[in-house]
Chains A and B, each alone.
Chain A
Amino acid sequence: GNSVTQMEGPVTLSEEAFLTINCTYTATGYPSLFWYVQYPGEGLQLLLKATKADDKGSNKGFEATYRKETTSFHLEKGSVQVSDSAVYFCALSDRTGGFKTIFGAGTRLFVKA
Chain B
Amino acid sequence: GAGVSQSPSNKVTEKGKDVELRCDPISGHTALYWYRQRLGQGLEFLIYFQGNSAPDKSGLPSDRFSAERTGESVSTLTIQRTQQEDSAVYLCASSLMNQPQHFGDGTRLSIL
Is there contact, CB below 8 Å, between A106 and B42? Answer: yes
Residue of A nearest to B97 (CB): A99
List the A side residues contacting B101 at CB < 8 Å.
36, 44, 46, 101
Determine the interface band of chain B, counting residues with CB < 8 A from chain A. Answer: 20 to 34
Residue of B nearest to A100 (CB): B48
Question: How far apart sit A98 and B40, CA to CA, in the bound complex (Å)?
Answer: 29
Given contacts A43-B103, A93-B98, contact A99 B31 (CB under 8 A): yes
Residue of B nearest to A103 (CB): B43
Is there contact, CB below 8 Å, between B103 and A45? Answer: yes
Question: How far apart sit A10 and B101, CA to CA, in the bound complex (Å)?
Answer: 25
Question: How far apart sit A98 and B103, CA to CA, in the bound complex (Å)?
Answer: 20
Is there contact, CB below 8 Å, between B98 and A43? Answer: no
List the B side residues contacting A32 at CB < 8 Å.
98
A-B contact pairs, 7 of them (CB 8 A): A43-B103, A46-B102, A98-B53, A99-B31, A99-B50, A103-B45, A106-B43
